[in-house]
Amino acid sequence: MEKLEVIGSKKLKGNIKISGSKNASLPILAATLISTKKIKIQNLPIVKDIQTMIFLLRSLGSNIKLSKNNNSIKIDNSKNIKTYAPYSLVKTMRAGILVLGPLLARFGKAKVSLPGGCAIGARPVDVHLKALSKLGVKYKIINGYIYANAPNGLMGNIIKFSKISVGATENLIIAATLANGKTILKNCAIEPEIKDLINFLRKMGCKINWIGKRTIRIIGNRDLKKINYQVMFDRIEAGTYMIASALTAGNLRITNIVPKVINTEINILKKIGTKIKIKSNEIIVIGSKKVKCTKIKTSPYPGFPTDLQAQLMVLLCKANGRSEITENIFENRFMHVAELNRMGAKIKVSGNKAIIEGNINFNSAELMATDLRASVSLILASLSAKGKSIINRIYHLDRGYERIEKKLQKVGANIKRNSK
């Protein structure tokens, strides 16, 4: 099984180009199922979750051609599309559930396995199913599968989500694009990846408008167009490398981004002592040896993202006092704490709150990744530690970070992949 070996205490210096967004690409790929026209998608990240979604689409009958460098694809969903998404593909990532909405919209029926992915809490699909039922979907769950159908087709309705859910918002937006009549979605998630999905669907010919901060109006329309679309940058990858520069007192130019999208992350890093120079499509992040303690709460966009919580925690271990992180999005998302404590961190968890004592120096260690973002936090801690650390179970990492060791090597990190 592959592992990463990291020898720490190196300042990172140079340029890192940010890849396309995994979390934007996945719903966009799923959304192609509503169309019979040819679609080209560019700037896809070369990560495991994207490969899994492509396998899933192919299993449904999509005709997909990958470019030589694998970061753009051509999709033709005009013929022989099936409505069954098997457990073998959906089990490895949560985004598999996103084929449910488009299959119901186009064909009026679907059999989709309950999803898998990182072990970070329940992440129930109830919000998706209850909302879809208001569009006329009838469903039952048998032996781990969702059996859903809309005998009379999907019908527009007014739907208020019981809680803000990125996945449910995406599923309902896609489903409502082909529904009869008008759909109003209230209490929607407003993450940039959702706005990217809407931009994609609009370019295809879907009639979607924001009519309030968290309210979307969709008029059903089946007259769709052939399109070419470029996916937005990965803001979580950008935030991860920003923190890496801050942690190692480095100097990184982070390119291929839109800085205003990550304004919250920029402001928090500035607040705790990091110098950041902002340009039109790049930022320069200069780390400081003095990190200030702070209190952070994860929350839906535009708040601080849960997907950067573990990475920021590593940086706060270096702060000049006690910091707090409150995790408001997912339960069970402090699984990295035990491994960080093995490296010398002093972190106590109580419920959804972590207390981080600062002024510590990380020790090298052999480590075990538990989920995608936890695995990258262990890389960050290892970059700061003295000596060689080994990180096992890096298949989690490969789900969401494109060639992370190659990008880090280019800016001075002593890191290598070992398959022995």
Q: Dihedral sign for Cα 185, 189, 190, 196, please.
A: negative
Catalytic residue, chosen from 118, 188, 206, 317, is 118
Measure the CA–CA gap between 272 and 1, rounded to whole angstroms.
38
Cβ-in-10-Å burial (0-12, 13-18, 19+) of 344 comes to middle
Measure the CA–CA gap between 129 and 151, rounded to whole angstroms.
16
The set of residues, in sequence order, having a beta carbon less than 8 Å from that of 254 and lying 6+ positions away, is 15, 16, 18, 238, 241, 242, 245, 282, 283, 284, 285
* Active-site residue flag, 317: no
The set of residues, in sequence order, having a beta carbon less than 8 Å from that of 349 and lying 6+ positions away, is 334, 337, 355
Cβ-in-10-Å burial (0-12, 13-18, 19+) of 253 comes to middle
Measure the CA–CA gap between 181 and 349, rounded to whole angstroms.
49
Report which of 344, 372, 367, 356 is spatially closest to residue 320, judged by C-alpha positions: 356
Q: How far is CA 218 from CA 19, 108, 130, 184, 286, in A?
A: 30, 18, 18, 6, 44
Integer Rg of the chain from CA: 22
For residue 94, give the DSSP letter: G
- Is the backbone of residue 256 left (phi > 0), alpha (psi -120 to 50) or beta? left
E strand or H helix that includes residue 90:
helix 87-90
Neighbour count for residue 273 (Cβ, 10 Å):
18
For residue 359, give the DSSP letter: S
The catalytic residue positions are 118
